[in-house]
Structure 1
Amino acid sequence: MISSSNSFSNKNIDEVRSYWNARPCNIRHSIKEIGTKDYFNEVEARKYFVEPHIPLFAEFDKWRGKKVLEIGCGIGTDTINFARAGAKVTAVDLSENSLELARKRADVFGYDVNFYHANAEELSKSVPIEEYDLVYSFGVIHHTPQPDKAIAEIRKYMGKDSQFKIMVYNRNSWKVLWILLTYGKFQFSKLDEWVANYSEAQTGCPVTYSYTKKSIQSLLKGFDIQDLRVDHIFPYSISEYKQYEYKKIWYFQYLPKSLFRFLERNFGWHLCVTSKLK
């Protein structure tokens, strides 16, 4: 598949903020009363059930007593798991509505987290510069108009022993192929537009980049990539999933688990990278 271009660099960051304010990520993972402990517990259980690779990638327990900076915390699921494991957590997000829920989550569970409302491309304007043991960003940087600026800002918060964990969308994935077949009708020239529009649960995301293993190395120029892996194919029928039922799409029902994992590791939607500064 062709590589993602820089086709979203002229997008306004306010468009991105408005999109995520309208529906913070995972906000519908529970039908319980929003902001309650039961709600947050159900959101977490559902998130990690369909994305079990996240705790394995984040390695929450590894950061006990360490300083963690999360770029794009959303409604705080991973945030609280870092704090629960004993990390000293600073979390930022572009969406005020997401931050409101993340703060509520920290209050409900009794964790002290430093929250900042910030644009990742201008992080140092809002977040005091200091060195962190881990900078973590899962599924966020590909939604900002100029990811290279965000990466340049992240470098300011890292030292020689700091680790950077980032997940971005995989260009050579089952999801991109599905979007191309379902909506794009093999119009490769409009692939970036189609991927952006259908990359999330709600349509119309203004910015969504996707990366190959080669292009992520270009984005992370100046970093030493220690681990790069592909994971996650969503196998469930969307209509049933929205009703909180987990029914696999027919062609996934007949795949042996080993073959499905093979597909995930080679054509998954998530490109998970662990790196350090060179």
Structure 2
Amino acid sequence: MSTNNPFSNIELEKVQSYWNARPCNVRHSPSPVGTQQYFDEVEARKYYVEPHIPLFAEFEKWRGKKVLEIGCGLGTDTINFARAGAQVTAVDLSTESLALAKKRAEVFGLNNITFYQANAEQLSDYVPVERYDLVYSFGVIHHTPHPERVIEQIHKYMDKDSIFKIMVYYRTSWKVFWMQLKYGKKPGETLDELIARYSEAETGCPVTYSYTTETVKDFLKGFKIIDTRIDHIFPYSIPEYRNYQYKMVWYFSCLPHSLFRWMEQRWGWHLCVTARKA
């Protein structure tokens, strides 16, 4: 995270408005929104493009355990924790995302999920403080103006045996290199601001922090890191992808799969960290 923080004065309402207007993965299916077919297609597309997510989340491992998910979005991972038999508490800032996640739980008849609309920077003002076996957040905390406040809050919901799994964006990734090559920084713009602008499918995200394997250690103060993994380069041509076709861009299609995976594990966009309280 940059010491000259360009995001600290951004109002949380701006972040909420951005995600209300475009809940993450909401266009992953052409079927009617809110139907079982829609949710099934969203899940299939998400895990096809990001197959490392189920491996990182380890859904089945949390059967009979308590899981707190910070930033549930449409509830794809939420539902899979619940299906595996976890007792899930799911939180999101976006009212639109949360409405769809609740609908999803209703469609699949899952009653082992409790939902909260909440600002994670003040999580304990919304969600009763109790101990969880797993606190999980995939691609969310780096979108709030003060992510270090969320980390402080998370400590309240863990003890020495709890696990924290978090994905944040990796600063020295292929995607950041591509952003700089394709767009470049505007006059006076920082790299952080460039990354924020193009970090999501829809441009103009108000806040996006990125981390290296070193800076994430400082970010996760009070935690002992157990495992750090880098993964995920998006290889598909965007025009075809928007039409639900999976055509790899030419320079990735030329690579053997083993070489592509080697690249993902060094310059992927997702920095996946597993930690315990120190």
Does the alignment reach a TM-score above 0.5?
yes
Instruction: Identify the residue that residue 40 of structure 1 maps to in structure 2.
Output: 39
Structure 1 position 189, deviation (Å): 5.5
Instruction: Identify the residue that residue 108 of structure 2 maps to in structure 1.
Output: 109
Quick one: which amino acid aligns to residue 34 of structure 2? Answer: G
Deviations 1:200-227 (A, max 9, x none): 0000000000000111000001100000
Q: What is the identity percentage for the equivalent residue pairs of Structure 1 and Structure 2? A: 68
Instruction: Identify the residue that residue 178 of structure 1 maps to in structure 2.
Output: 178
Number of residue pairs the alignment of both structures matches: 276
Instruction: Identify the residue that residue 155 of structure 2 maps to in structure 1.
Output: 155
TM-score after normalising by structure 2 = 0.97
Instruction: Identify the residue that residue 246 of structure 2 maps to in structure 1.
Output: 246
Quick one: which amino acid aligns to residue 48 of structure 2? Answer: F
In structure 2, stretches of 5+ residues that fail to align are none
Deviations 1:95-126 (A, max 9, x none): 00000000000000011210000011000010
Matched, 1:193 2:193: yes
* Aligned ranges 1:116-127 → 2 under 5 Å: 116-127=116-127
Quick one: which amino acid aligns to residue 119 of structure 1? Answer: N
Instruction: Identify the residue that residue 98 of structure 1 maps to in structure 2.
Output: 97
Deviations 1:28-50 (A, max 9, x none): 00010100000000000000000
Matched, 1:259 2:259: yes
Quick one: which amino acid aligns to residue 33 of structure 1? Answer: P
Secondary structure at 1:131 match in 2: coil
Q: Is the 8 Å Cα contact of residues 185 and 194 (structure 2) preserved in structure 1?
A: no
In structure 1, stretches of 5+ residues that fail to align are none
Quick one: which amino acid aligns to residue 115 of structure 1? Answer: F
Q: Is the 8 Å Cα contact of residues 196 and 209 (structure 2) preserved in structure 1?
A: yes
Matched, 1:23 2:37: no
Quick one: which amino acid aligns to residue 28 of structure 2? Answer: H
Secondary structure at 1:160 match in 2: coil
Instruction: Identify the residue that residue 168 of structure 2 maps to in structure 1.
Output: 168
Structure 1 position 243, deviation (Å): 0.6
* Aligned ranges 1:39-78 → 2 under 5 Å: 39-78=38-77
CA distance in 2, matches of 1:213, 1:11: 26
Deviations 1:53-105 (A, max 9, x none): 00000000000000000000001000000000000000000000000000000
Structure 1 position 147, deviation (Å): 0.5
- Which stretches of structure 1, 4 residues or longer, exceed 3 Å deviation after superposition? 185-189
CA distance in 1, matches of 2:98, 2:242: 24
CA distance in 2, matches of 1:20, 1:234: 21
Q: Is the 8 Å Cα contact of residues 232 and 265 (structure 2) preserved in structure 1?
A: yes
Say what the alpha-carbon RMSD is for the aligned residues: 1.2
CA distance in 2, matches of 1:180, 1:4: 17
Secondary structure at 2:127 match in 1: coil
Structure 1 position 10, deviation (Å): 1.1
TM-score after normalising by structure 1 = 0.97
Structure 1 position 11, deviation (Å): 0.8
Secondary structure at 2:211 match in 1: coil
Instruction: Identify the residue that residue 8 of structure 2 maps to in structure 1.
Output: 9
Quick one: which amino acid aligns to residue 194 of structure 2? Answer: W
Secondary structure at 2:161 match in 1: strand
Instruction: Identify the residue that residue 80 of structure 2 maps to in structure 1.
Output: 81
